[in-house]
Structure 1
Amino acid sequence: MVVGPAHHYGVNVSDIDRSIEFYRDVLGLEVLREEQELSDHHEDLLGVDGTEGTFAVLGGNGFKFELKSISEPSTKNINAMRRPVDIGDDHFCWEVEDIDATYEELTERGVEFLGPPKSVGTVDSRVAYFYDPDGNVLELVEPGS
């Protein structure tokens, strides 16, 4: 068996309006599905009783990004406790044509980067990691030739 192409990437956020603004206005994704309430069957889907909240879907370049904000039960932000090398979700990556220009533009917009773009010889590319408003790690990559 081989799985099909990627469908979407999901991320839990603390403030869905702030996150929509970041992913739409700063990163340029398009809102594909406006914020709406989670369906009644999300308790079963997530395996957590009493799950309530909202979600929205953004996209760009053929990929969807699902933002989910859980209001019940109470949640915590685990990003402050984990390092980029810890087990679990690590990052999501977008390809860009000019990483230096993108880095400068996003820095001017207030995006916090772990550092400036760096070369990665093992994959002949340049990368830069940055944070979304909740501290989720995201990556930019400029592939080599």
Structure 2
Amino acid sequence: MKVTGAHHTSYTVSNLERSLEFYVGLLGCQVIWQRENRDQYFRDIVGYPDSVAKMAMLSIPGSPHAIELIEYIVPRGVSADVRTKNVGSSHIAFLVDDLRSGYEELCAAGVKFRSPPVAITAGANKGAWAVYLTDPDGITMEFFQPPKTETKS
């Protein structure tokens, strides 16, 4: 078998509606589909024989990659310590075009950031800007503004 690409990143959330307000309402993702899933194939994949989940698949503007949000109704999930230092934590990095203004808008909306935008001063991403933020469940994500490329005339 050969990996040929990436389809989606999935996050388990405590409240799907609240998460949709964040990912759609604040970040600008779009709902591809949303439904309650009791299907046997889903139960087989996740390994919970009686599972019931509220689910949504979201498109990310400008990207073929999607985000799947799952709220388990049965079995009910518990919160995990998903801080970035902990084994098993992960994050998605969203490309943005104006990190400073996005940061200010989302701060005003109550979104929690680890820091103000940070200039990357060394390494492969030198000249870029980045910042970590968290969704309503404390799941970390990153906004990444690539370095500006100069056009030659």
Same fold (TM over 0.5): yes
1:52, 1:72 within 8 Å by CA — same for their partners in 2? yes
Runs (4+) off by over 3 Å: none
Gap regions ≥5 residues in structure 2: 149-153
Structure-2 separation of matches of 1:127 and 1:82: 20
| Rounded Cα–Cα distance in structure 2 between residues aligned with 1:53 and 1:126 | 37
Contact map agreement 2:82 2:139 (CA 8 A) in 1: no
1:37 deviates by 2.5
The number of equivalent residue pairs is: 143
* Aligned AA (1:91): H
Kindly indicate whether residue 105 of structure 2 is the aligned counterpart of residue 102 of structure 1. no
Superposition pairs of residues 108-123 of structure 1, within 5 angstroms:
108-120=108-120, 121-122=122-123, 123=125
**For the Cα contact (< 8 Å) 1:37–1:53, is it kept in 2?**
yes
Shift of the 36–48 alpha-carbon distance from structure 1 to 2, 3 Å rule, reads closer
Question: Does the CA contact (< 8 Å) of 2:103 and 2:117 recur in 1?
Answer: yes
The one-letter amino acid of 1:59's match is S
> Percent same amino acid at aligned positions?
30
Deviates more, 1:20-29 or 1:121-130: 121-130
**AA of the residue aligned to 1:47:** G
Aligned to 1:12: 12
The structure whose residues are more often helix, as a share, is 1
Q: Which runs of 5+ in 1 are unaligned?
A: none
Residue 31 of structure 2 is matched in structure 1 by: 31
Q: 1:4 to 1:29 in 2, by over 3 A?
A: same
Q: Which residue of 1 aligns with 2:72?
A: 70
Aligned ranges 1:48-67 → 2 under 5 Å: 48-60=48-60, 61=62, 62-67=64-69
Q: Deviation at 1:130? A: 0.4
Q: TM-score, normalised by structure 1?
A: 0.90
Per the normalisation by structure 2, the TM-score is: 0.86
